[in-house]
Each structure stands twice: as structure tokens, then as C-alpha cells.
Amino acid sequence: MKHILFVFALFVAAGFVAHAQDDSYKVVFDLTNPDAAQQNKVVRWIELITESNPKAQMEVVMYGKGFELVMTEKSTVSDKIKEALKNPNVSFRVCAMAMAKHKITLDMFFNGVQSVPDGIHELVKKQQAGWGYIKVVD
């Protein structure tokens, strides 16, 4: 009986250790559309994930016209973006190629928004590094 209890205790302890080691939560969101519903959806996900796991790392990568999410003049969720930008675990990255195509500059975005040379490459790098991937669509 002692042997069975000892083995059971080892399994329980191993479960706690495995859970403690796997507390990382990293997700990259892929946004290509300026649609207000999609803008609302991605900020709602950021809020919900932050509530459930404050240490979660999240990045929104925007290309196509998805960058309107973080444009001071076009975002439909400005207040929520400003709040999300205060979280050091949340980042917003805009594809420099999309910016050039649409003649957009970084000063048209909220403070803290960054650019990446290639949005698709950024998504691939994150996935290769073990980040989860979510395509924002309706």
C-alpha cells in the first residue's frame, strides 16, 4: 500500500512540476482586414487572455489593411488599443511593406506600435519559436 501511495504522490508531484514549467502562453494574431468587427474581436481576445493569464505574451501582426486597427485616425477601438499598449506583454507590429504600399508612416499610429520588415515573415518566425497562431476573421 505504501508503494502505491508513493507512486501516486510521484505522479501528482510530476503533474505540478509539469504545470509550473508550462505556464508560458504566447500567441500571435494575424490581422489583414480593417473591418470593425475584426478589430473588436482581436482586442476582446487580448482582454480575455490577459484576464485569464496576465503573463501571456501576445502580438498582433498587421498587413494588408489590418493596420487601421492601430491608426489614430481610423481605429474603431482606440481606447482599447491605448489600454493594451500599456501592457508590456502585448505588442502591435505593422508590416513595413504594407505601410509603403499604402503610403503610411509610423507617426500615423498610436505610440508604441512598431513595424516589421515583412508581416508574413514575422508570423512564420513566431510560429517557429512555438507561438500559437490565430487568424482574425469573422
Q: What's 74's domain CATH number?
A: 3.40.1260.10
| Whole-number average pLDDT of the chain | 87
pLDDT for the residue 2: 55
Expressed as residue numbers, the domain containing 81 is 24-135
User: Rounded to an integer, what distance in angstroms lies between the CA atom of residue 105 and that of residue 115?
Assistant: 10
Domain membership flag for residue 9: no
In sequence order, the 6+-apart residues with CB closer than 8 A to the CB of 97 are: 63, 117, 118, 119
Q: Give the pLDDT band of residue 138 (cuts 50, 70, 90).
A: confident
Tell me the helices (H) and strands (E) count for the chain, helix number first.
5, 5
**The length of the chain, given as a count of residues:** 138
pLDDT tens-digit series, residues 20-77 = 444 689 999 999 999 999 999 999 999 999 999 999 999 999 999 999 999 999 999 9
pLDDT for the residue 113: 98
Domain membership flag for residue 39: yes
In DSSP terms, 95 is beta-bridged to 116
Q: Give the pLDDT band of residue 109 (cuts 50, 70, 90).
A: very high
User: Rounded to an integer, what distance in angstroms lies between the CA atom of residue 70 and that of residue 111?
Assistant: 9
Q: Give the pLDDT band of residue 95 (cuts 50, 70, 90).
A: very high
Domain membership flag for residue 48: yes
In sequence order, the 6+-apart residues with CB closer than 8 A to the CB of 69 are: 31, 34, 39, 42, 60, 62, 75, 77, 81, 92
Q: Mean of the pLDDT values across residues 88-117?
A: 97
Structural domain tally of the chain? 1
Domain membership flag for residue 13: no
pLDDT for the residue 23: 63
Q: What's the Rg (C-alpha) of the chain?
A: 19
pLDDT tens-digit series, residues 9-18 = 434 444 444 4
- Record the cell numbers describing residue 79, joined without a space: 481606447
DSSP three-state, residue 31 = strand
Give the other-Cβ count within 10 Å of 129's Cβ: 9
Domain membership flag for residue 10: no
